[in-house]
Amino acid sequence: MSEACQIARKQDLPPPGGYKPIPFQRLPAKQYFSGYTMFAMYIGITAVSAYLYNINAKRIAKNEIEMRSAKMAIYPMLLAERDREYLKQLRRNRDAEAELMRDVPGWEVGTYYGERVYKLVPPDTLIEPIFHEYYAHSSPTEWFRRAYHKLRC
Amino acid sequence: MVLTADITLPEESELTVEEVNLSTATLRAGSFHLGKYCEQANNEFMLCRFEEKDPRKCINEGKAVTACTLEFFRKVKKTCLAEFNQYTNCIDKSSGDFGLQHCRKTQGVFDGCMLEKLHMERPEFGYFTEVRVHSTNRPKPLVEEKAVYPDTTPALPDDAERKPARFGSRFYWMTE
């Protein structure tokens, strides 16, 4: 019985001729440039880029100045036109408020039942209304158009 | 609203004049010659606007500016319309921000025409960004005087003796 269970066993041994040598030595990557060359290259490339950057920066600055000049030259005309339209709109707003609050007893235009908003300035001082007051009598579409102007363009 | 009935606003008829009905590209194309041509009116208006800080007081100056601009563009239309339109078209279609740097050739043609026919030279580079002296007859607006209070604490006379502080500086990190 015990003899039938006998299996030929083979001892685990090194391969014939022994194991290969273990590669434990460092294998550094190939070096194309020395440290000093790399420093020199860095400085050289930076210098050339700075030179090119300066050329472009000057050109861009010149163009910006030119565009600014063109805008400044037409600004008075645009401002004059805007002022006239603004004053027209202020009058329209005031008339609209008078019309809207006509039936309210004791209401005075531009005041809260006769109490002024700005008490210390002379009565004829033009105080520019804030955005929401300026657009108070316009349609919500117009309000939205102006308030979110940047969304559209 | 903050606009009371006391505030005088000009009538609509006073404010209605012929406006400059031109596109951005057109204005940008004519801007340099326009700024030079209408310099007096423009400076007068801007001076008024910045001194008075009130659009109601500068309506006449503003009307002069608009009239001058219209006059300028009418002159251009009469003499250099083809060159001007060519330049405007270039500015309009060359970039998204109406940049002038893309249109040097058409600009040269337009400038030559303006110089030849209207004797208007293009102002030199950076002319409108420089500080320019403007002579005017406008009276200076009155400056509000400082309020004088009769019960003010009298100031120390100039020749009063000023001793060093007895307990050092109030700034503790500073020593004598």
The least confident of A84-93, A108-117, B92-101, B163-172 is: B163-172
| Structure tokens that stand for A28 in this block | 């550094």
User: Closest Cα to residue A94, out of B10, B29, B146, B15?
Assistant: B10
Report the residue from B9, B20, B99 with minimal CB separation from A67: B99
Shortest distance, CA A110 to any CA of chain B (angstroms): 4
Return d(Cα A77, Cα B34) in angstroms, integer.
10
A68-112 pLDDT tens trace: 999 999 999 999 999 999 999 999 999 999 999 999 999 999 899
For A58-90, give the DSSP string: HHHHHHHHHHHHHHHHHHHHHHHHHHHHHHHHH
Measured between CA atoms, how close is A119 to chain B, in angstroms?
11
Under 8 Å between Cβ of B69 and B96: no
Domain boundaries, chain B: 24-129
Q: Which residues of B touch A90 (CB under 8 A)?
A: 3, 9
Q: What is the distance of C-alpha B115 from the center of its chain?
A: 26
Residues of A in contact with B12 (CB under 8 A): 88, 91
Q: Identify the three-state secondary structure at position A115.
A: strand
Q: End-to-end CA distance of chain B: give it in Å, rounded.
A: 58
pLDDT tens for each residue of A15-56: 888 899 998 999 889 999 999 999 999 999 999 999 999 999
Partners of residue A60 in chain B, C-beta under 8 Å: none
Q: Could you say which of B6, B59, B128 has the minimum Cβ distance to residue A69? A: B128
CA pair distance A90, A136, nearest whole angstrom = 11
- pLDDT tens, B41-92? 999 999 999 999 999 999 999 999 999 999 999 999 999 999 999 999 999 9
Considering only the beta carbons, identify the residue of B15, B17, B49 that sits closest to A79.
B49
Q: Which residues of A touch B2 (CB under 8 A)?
A: 110, 117-118, 127, 129, 133
Q: Enter the ipTM.
A: 0.84
d(CA A144, CA A134): 13
Running DSSP on this structure, what letter comes out for residue A112?
B
Angle B35-B37-B38 from CA coordinates, rounded to 5°: 70
The C-alpha atoms of residue A15 and residue B59 are separated, in whole angstroms, by 107
What is the Cα–Cα distance from A110 to A108, expressed in whole angstroms?
6
Q: Is-contact B58 B49, C-beta < 8 A? A: yes
d(CA A84, CA B63): 9
Q: Determine the residue of chain B that is closest to A70 in CA distance.
A: B31
- Do the Cβ atoms of A69 and B69 come within 8 Å? no
Return residues 56-115 of B near A (CB < 8 Å): 56, 58-59, 61-63, 65-66, 69, 97, 99-101
